[in-house]
Structure 1
């Protein structure tokens, strides 16, 4: 199981609002394999030195710089912290505080220094996490499996998860007469399946609370429809694995789940591209950075797609949204597209960090607007 800390919307909002004399954002490729984490720690140290160099050139107060660097070195020296990692690590540091998030996505290692945090890559963690949970549900057994793109799937321990349908309901069979007197057989069995599914859903709630990764159901017969009726987790995908999960290993379940997950992501992007084209005809879209900055400043962006890797240094006016581009990405300038994403997010927009090829027009960003500007 990956050790992940997916940021919640309130945590995003808190990071967006931070302003300080030095905000260091570090994204680092890591590994869940503790014996191979040394390389990541060495690279982290190199990124810290680069941040220190930029801040020295910018003339940051020496005491403030020392406090920031000391905090980052304390993190670097924390052996216990480095034992439990995922595929990437995001570190946000000021001289006063450090926040870390362990992420399932493989992000490009980088360091950004400014008066605010660089958050665009972090949006990727909640856009397309490339991880999923698989609920293997049958009358005879139930288990929850967590899958990730780069690690073997594992069975997740779920307290109070039923072992099977009959024992969960205290029955020797699911075909006996129901309390209301309805006949046994298929009708009574449907009632029992609903009771069973509700017990499974109740056991999953504490484990799934606060999570946003997709849930894929593996079940046959009537169970997929029955579970869909009682499911309380909002990220259950419509498509399911239709093979009997009793005969499948965790690895085989993950192999069957991967095309479903990829199709779900592709469907989301296709729908957004279609909506972008429609809104273009209505004058409610833009791929222009300056136009998007103005729209974000005035809360006009409904959905924003941004290139996860691109950094366009500059400044965005707090009042008007006017953009000033600069050639050098130093400790003074910050990422313009990142600032646009932060403002859009703060106004309630849906923000997706994607690869450039997935952006309409193939540029740094594409915005779908709430109204024409």
Structure 2
């Protein structure tokens, strides 16, 4: 699949970067989220968008009298990326590219981000942070005898199927049992355990192909398996975000849209339960001085490395600055010297090993736009 999952170290590097000639570009194919095809199907269009955006950024930097050698380094780095054929062979839906005279970082993402670019003395990692920490996305794996489908459910309600590579053409023959529509296998001469072993082997083969596509992801996986294969897959599963609740209907009878709808229902229930537990914990910890829903308190705690879990409103737009001590100065309007306050707090939490989740406003406690639990009492 060739998807890049940003790590905490990646976020630390991107958010700590400072250089007056820094260019950020988010590239996505044109069209609605539902109609967008993977970048790898038409890499030339994405490459053109990238070159155009970087060219505009370089022109802005030139107008600001940035040295020519710095501009050349930026252009050369982008040219090398465009010439990297392996990079563009991907099922990614969008790209995030960060380039300065000091180097280039690029991430291929399954998220449908909007095309956006900017220049300044730092990278605009906010959209990347929000896209990769918003939990309303995941996978649905449909498994039946001889048929395997992997769906990606996007946070914008779109979905698409991912091609699984490396599966044998005669995959269904691994089971070597008659089609019994999910009922108990008939007793075989070579022992009652053999069908169970075959089902585990079959599911192991499927999981290997699935992990090649999603390993390293932090998104939940919903299982939709025929009744005979569901327990076997859960037994051999090693993906830590497999959701306990599955889709109970036999996936052989479900189309893509129906699988996606049922998968989202499972994800929504799972996520709602997690947030309810967190809000309850938040209330308990706040009573003991270990949680807050006030931006200024959270910013200072994040700067000191004291935030354990941060939740912030996905739509938060307030800009300003936060100094090295965590003091917040809101801005009346955005400028080249301001940035998203919630994004900056999130970046500081990620740099110090905390957990960050971008959520819908209704999921936050007390109508707040941001909330956090602390590692110790403030």
Q: TM-score range by the shorter chain?
A: 0.7 to 0.9
Report SS of the residue matched to 2:365.
Answer: coil
Q: Say which of 174, 178, 184 aligns to 1:168.
A: 174
- Is the contact made by 1:118 and 1:338 (CA closer than 8 Å) also made in structure 2? no
Distance 2:334 2:92 in 1: 29
Q: Say which of 156, 159, 162 aligns to 2:167.
A: 159
After TM superposition, the structure 1 = structure 2 runs for residues 131-170 of structure 1, keeping only pairs within 5 Å, are: 131-138=137-144, 140-148=145-153, 149-160=157-168, 163-164=171-172, 167-168=173-174
Q: Say which of 68, 72, 75 aligns to 1:63.
A: 68
Aligned to 1:12: 11
After TM superposition, the structure 1 = structure 2 runs for residues 42-53 of structure 1, keeping only pairs within 5 Å, are: 45=52, 49=56, 53=60
Aligned to 1:21: 20
Distance 1:46 1:347 in 2: 32
- Is the contact made by 1:120 and 1:308 (CA closer than 8 Å) also made in structure 2? no
Deviation at 1:68, TM superposition (A): 6.4
Report SS of the residue matched to 2:297.
Answer: helix
Structure 1, residues 212-254: CA drift from partner, whole Å, max 9, x if none? 3322211243532332222111121112121222333444433
Structure 1, residues 10-46: CA drift from partner, whole Å, max 9, x if none? 3333323322233333335534446799699669846
Report SS of the residue matched to 2:310.
Answer: strand
Distance 1:43 1:355 in 2: 30
Judged with a 3 Å threshold, the aligned counterparts in structure 2 of structure 1 residues 346 and 325 are, in CA distance, closer, same or farther, namely: same
**TM-score normalised to the size of structure 1?**
0.78
In angstroms, what is the RMSD of aligned CA positions? 3.9
Aligned to 1:302: 308
Deviation at 1:196, TM superposition (A): 3.8
- Is the contact made by 1:174 and 1:192 (CA closer than 8 Å) also made in structure 2? no
Judged with a 3 Å threshold, the aligned counterparts in structure 2 of structure 1 residues 51 and 193 are, in CA distance, closer, same or farther, namely: same
Distance 2:93 2:200 in 1: 38
Aligned to 1:261: 267
Distance 2:289 2:166 in 1: 50
- Is the contact made by 2:17 and 2:123 (CA closer than 8 Å) also made in structure 1? yes
After TM superposition, the structure 1 = structure 2 runs for residues 268-283 of structure 1, keeping only pairs within 5 Å, are: 268-283=274-289
1:126 and 2:132 aligned: yes
Deviation at 1:361, TM superposition (A): 4.0
Aligned to 1:90: 96
Aligned to 1:322: 327
Structure 1, residues 291-344: CA drift from partner, whole Å, max 9, x if none? 1111011111011122334344333332x2223334453333333332221111
- Is the contact made by 1:13 and 1:346 (CA closer than 8 Å) also made in structure 2? yes
After TM superposition, the structure 1 = structure 2 runs for residues 348-363 of structure 1, keeping only pairs within 5 Å, are: 348-363=353-368
Runs of 5+ in structure 2 lacking a partner? Answer: 31-35, 179-184
After TM superposition, the structure 1 = structure 2 runs for residues 124-273 of structure 1, keeping only pairs within 5 Å, are: 124-128=130-134, 131-138=137-144, 140-148=145-153, 149-160=157-168, 163-164=171-172, 167-168=173-174, 175-176=187-188, 184=192, 189-273=195-279
**TM-score normalised to the size of structure 2?**
0.77
Aligned to 2:336: 331
